[in-house]
Structures are given as structure tokens and as C-alpha cells.
Structure 1
């Protein structure tokens, strides 16, 4: 006898899935905004910053990019409290997302900065711009324009990687799916719903980032 599909249970568990989706979106929103800001600062430090600062940023980037996100999450949630840094599971997850995306976005943005022709730096200086003004108006915007597709893809990848935060009891979409499956014992259908939801979220986030890129960099549209 074939497998009997059953999605009748879904309506009753919609509030749980909705809560999980909202927390997943919160994680990616906080991670994307603060993580990209951190990555931008680190990219400046590695490409244009003072010599003494570059080794510290390099160690941070290499450490994060060469260790599993789950281990980073466990270190923050279980390790930092032993040093006196108290935080709940959601705060730990947000911090881990920011630190992780910051390291990856640093290298992406740095590549865009290093692709900037040297003449643009000199043009900014010839207009009596300060170093910060030159970086902001002459270097950073064109650099972000060049690497925006890669940065958008990295944000989506980090969003999908956020599924492991359920390991520290953050009630995200994966946590909600595990909870529902433990109640209805319909693992196949439950994880089909979770997979489809992650797929839709990924497409929507990518479309949103593409639209944001067109709004921020209108020349790219041309």
C-alpha cells in the first residue's frame, strides 16, 4: 500500500510556523544590516586601514571563515557566559550571525575596494576630500555596486545557515518544524513544508536585495 499523504494538520500548526518564520527573518535582518556594516569596516581596515590594525582583522576573518558556524554559535552561547557575558539564546544567535556574515562580507567588499582604480583615489584627493569622504563617496559606492550580487548571495547563504540556531533552542523555522514533527509524527510532510518555506524565503530575500541594489545603484540598471 502506498504512502498516504496528509496535510490536514497544517492549519492547526500555522501559528507555530509563523512564529518560526518571523524569528528567522529577524535573524537575517539583524545579521544583514549589522553584519554588512561590520564587514565594511573590516574591509576598509584590511584594504586601506593602518598597518597595525590589519593583522587583527585578518585573524578575525580567517578564524570565522575556517571554522563551522555551529561551533561559533556554541562558543558564543555556552562559552562566553563562563567569562561573564550573559545573553539569551536569541541574542547569542543574532551575535553569531553578525560575526559570521561580517567576516564573509569583509572579503567580498574588500575585493570590490581593491578593484577600484588608483586614479579614483587621486581624484578624490584632488577635490580636497578627506580620507573618509574619499572612501565613502569615491570608493565604497562603486565597490558595493560591483560586488552586490555576490554580497546578496552570501546573505541568503547565511540565512539558510541560520537553521542551526535551533540547536540552542532559538524558536526559528527549523525549531518550529522539529516541534511540529514531534507532535504530528508526519516527518515527511512537515519537512516538505519547511523546505518549501525556506525556498520561498530565499527567493523573496534575493528579490528584495536585487530591488535594493537597483535602488541604491541606478547606474547598474542602465
Structure 2
């Protein structure tokens, strides 16, 4: 093997890679927040007593969960201009990741809501709690607490899948790594470094999500 390892171009391009890291975190964070909110809406639609709403929610969830996220990204970026909707690479990436996250979040949260016993809701009503407070404190918060580890895993997977949006020129980490590779041809060094960065991002995101879980979803202690 005559290959000579040279990480100097990677170190020299660190400011560019840092910009890519920030792009990855920005797009992933927005998609997580919007995806969770939209997922709760679809979860409520799926559990609704109205067949029309339930059918729409089930159709959407099955469509998203049974098609590759890369196809969804391509549809948003390349397909939607056919109906007059043109988005930048970053906008298309955030929309596609949000729609993808929403489908999985809807099913995860639905599992948590179904774990809430009807008697707990009845107890809240007996105490004179407002309907909004019942859903906030008796339904949604305990439900999300129950499925929070699964949501965290989905969020981390979403962040890792954000590498696919480089295919539509969304300026995130993989996009800048590919650009650097085309300029330096140091593929081994660049993609090894890229893998290490994604591993570090996963660990940091996991730690942040765990901290959020301890702050907002831990049971109070005396």
C-alpha cells in the first residue's frame, strides 16, 4: 500500500467543517421541534372519532414510514416546483425532515397516550381540572415521559439522516465534506473525520436530550 495519509487539508478546512456542523444542528433542531408538534397533531387526528381525520392521518403516517427519506427530500426539492412551490436546499431539507419526523413522532407519542389509563382522566375531571390542564398534565406530559427514550432515538436518527440532504445542496456537514473531497481528493481522511464528527454529534445530542428529560420529565423528589 503506497497511500500516504495526510490530514493537513482536513485541519486546514476546519472552519468550513464547523460551518457545516452548525448547519446540520440548525436544520436538525428545527425539524425536531416542528416534527414533534406536527406529529402530535397527526396523533390526535389518528385517535379522533372522525373517520375522515383518522384516514388522512393513517395514510400520511404509512406513506412517510414506508418510503425512503431520500425520496421524500427529492420530492420536496425536485417535485414540488411542478406545482409552483420552489424551495432552497435548506428549506427543502427542513420541510422533508419535519414531515418525516412527524410521522414517526405521531406513532411514538400515540403509544404513550394509549398507556394512560382512562381512570386518570376521569380523576382529573372529578377534581374540577380544566380540559386543557387535563391533557397537559395528565395525558401529554406523562405520555411523552413514557416514550421519551424512543423520541430521543428518533431525533438522533433524524440528525444522522440529515447527511442525505446534501444531495439537494443543503449546506450541512456532509455537503461541505463532499466539496472538500472534490478539492483535495483526500477521501479517506475526510470521511473518516466526518464519521468521527457525526459520532461526537450523536453523543452530544444524546447528552442534551437526557438533560432535557431530567429537567422536564423527571418525577419530583422530596
Which TM-score applies when normalising by structure 1? 0.94
Matching of residues 128-147 of structure 1 within 5 Å: 128-147=128-147
Other-structure match for 2:11: 11
Other-structure match for 1:160: 160
Q: Does 1:215 align with 2:215?
A: yes
Other-structure match for 2:88: 88
Cα gap change, 1:220/1:213 in structure 2, threshold over 3 Å: closer, same or farther?
A: farther
Other-structure match for 1:40: 40
Cα gap change, 1:142/1:49 in structure 2, threshold over 3 Å: closer, same or farther?
A: farther
Distance in 2, matches of 1:127 and 1:41, equals 27
Partner of 1:171, secondary structure, is coil
Matching of residues 29-178 of structure 1 within 5 Å: 29-48=29-48, 50-178=50-178
Distance in 1, matches of 2:140 and 2:49, equals 14
- Say if 1:47 and 1:113, in contact at 8 Å, map to a contact too: no
- Say if 1:40 and 1:105, in contact at 8 Å, map to a contact too: yes
- Please tell me the root mean square deviation across aligned C-alpha atoms, in Å: 1.7
Cα gap change, 1:79/1:220 in structure 2, threshold over 3 Å: closer, same or farther?
A: farther
Q: Can you give the 5+ residue segments of structure 2 that lack an aligned partner in the other structure?
A: none
CA deviation digits over 1:5-57, x for unaligned, max 9? Answer: 21111232112101111110011110111111111122222235644311111
**Deviation of residue 181 (structure 1)?**
1.0
Which TM-score applies when normalising by structure 2? 0.94
The count of residues paired between Structure 1 and Structure 2 equals: 222
Partner of 2:139, secondary structure, is helix
Q: Does 1:180 align with 2:177?
A: no
Q: Does 1:190 align with 2:190?
A: yes
Partner of 1:146, secondary structure, is helix
Q: Can you give the 5+ residue segments of structure 1 that lack an aligned partner in the other structure?
A: none
